[in-house]
Amino acid sequence: MIRSRFGTFRGLVRLALAYPQLALGRSGSVNPDPAHVRRLVFVCQGNICRSAFADVVARNIGLNSASFGLSTTTGRPAHEPAIVAARTLGHDMSAHCAVDMDDYVPETGDLLLAMEVRQLHRLATDPRLTGLPRMLLGRWTRPMLPHLHDPYRLDDRYMLRCLARIEGAVSALVSAFPGARLS
């Protein structure tokens, strides 16, 4: 049950720890003014599963979006099991190419949406990004899951569940940030 719902026991523990961090204001979030958000930028570790999928979903529903990884190689393709799971959910990730954090070009109106608290903390240490608002994508899942554990090389059932959670969260962003809609 843990493998299919949370990826690993570590994923469950990190989720449990993320709730108090969020509640106590220690998540590293910097809330945006929704009226100023023009682009949703999804962030994860490798930009080959979670953030890549979120970007594809956002574009498919008409949002201005981008994605990058905190530690990846620019140009790397999406993870094959993520491509398969995305296809099951009706999305095509086959053309995705990863973008490393160093190659990401911030724009006015960007909102960084990370998958984990530790990723928000890492974003806060980059001088190019400290002025940008940043939040956890999991705040928009139902129920709220402030930690979306990395499905890379984990159980295929968890990959599908994780991507489905991300799909629901991205869909909720449409009404939260109407300025990110493409014309």
Domain containing 164 — which CATH number? 3.40.50.2300
| Number of domains the chain is built from | 1
Query: Domain range holding 50?
Result: 2-180
Q: Which residues contact 25 (CB under 8 A, 6 or more apart)?
A: none
Contact 120, 114 (CB under 8 A): yes
Please give the DSSP secondary-structure letter assigned to residue 70. Answer: S
pLDDT tens for each residue of the chain, 183 residues long? 899 999 999 999 999 999 999 999 999 999 999 999 999 999 999 999 999 999 999 999 999 999 999 999 999 999 999 999 999 999 999 999 999 999 999 999 999 999 999 999 999 999 999 899 999 999 999 999 999 999 999 999 999 999 999 999 999 999 999 999 986
**What ranges make up the beta strands (E) of the chain?**
39-44, 65-69, 110-114, 134-136
Chain centroid to Cα 99, Å, comes to 14
Helix axes 80-88, 156-176, angle to 10 degrees: 60
Please give the DSSP secondary-structure letter assigned to residue 36. Answer: G
